[in-house]
Amino acid sequence: MDDLSGLINLIPIGDIAKKIGVDESVARAAVAVAVPAIVGGLAANAKDDKGAQSLEKALGHHKGRAPKKLEEIDEEDGEKIVSNVFGAKKNDVVKAAASKAEVKGDGPDIGAIVAQVLPIVAPIVLAFVANQFMGNKAEDAPEPAPAPASSGNPLADMLGGLISSPQGQEMITGALGGLLGAGRK
């Protein structure tokens, strides 16, 4: 199972679609680009010691959490996560991610939908990463892919394993490639 797809399967896409008032296919397209963007941003932030320490602290707050229902998701926390992960680059990341969303026909502004989806899915992504990294796996969370050769930074290695999936690589090296190196700047 592809890790990002497995992670995406944990997200209540139908409920998100209802909440933001879009077709489920539009919500699915937004989630499909939001999740790799967040994971890529986390990976970029974890590459240096200070970023990894900050992220590990945040993961400690999300360990053991695995929101499965929309009403269990703290969107204010999600906003904070998105701001910490992307910093001043948030709008650029939203635009780049939206450009990769596969939406058929004329519909709502996918950029606006991605912006709405990011704080909803961010707590789920952080809980998933926390549970995988800190060894308290959620019951139905997918197993992470084997990480590439170790860099000596286990958190960056684990996140690198998540984004090494074909879906993650397409997102990270494509639309978001140049944006995720400096999330907190």
Amino acid letter, 28: R
Q: List pLDDT tens digits, range 137-184.
A: 444 444 444 444 455 677 777 776 676 655 555 555 454 555 555 444
Structural domain harbouring 163: 3-182
Task: Quote the pTM value.
Answer: 0.78
Give the number of domains in the chain.
1
Kindly tell me the sign of the dihedral angle through the C-alpha atoms of 162, 41, 149, 136: negative
Nearest partner of 10 among 21, 1, 22, 19, judged by Cα: 1
Amino acid letter, 9: N
d(CA 120, CA 12): 10
Residue 12: pLDDT band (50, 70, 90) is: very high
- Which pLDDT score is estimated for 148? 46
Q: List pLDDT tens digits, range 162-173.
A: 766 555 555 554
**Helix, coil or strand: residue 159:** helix
d(CA 16, CA 64): 22
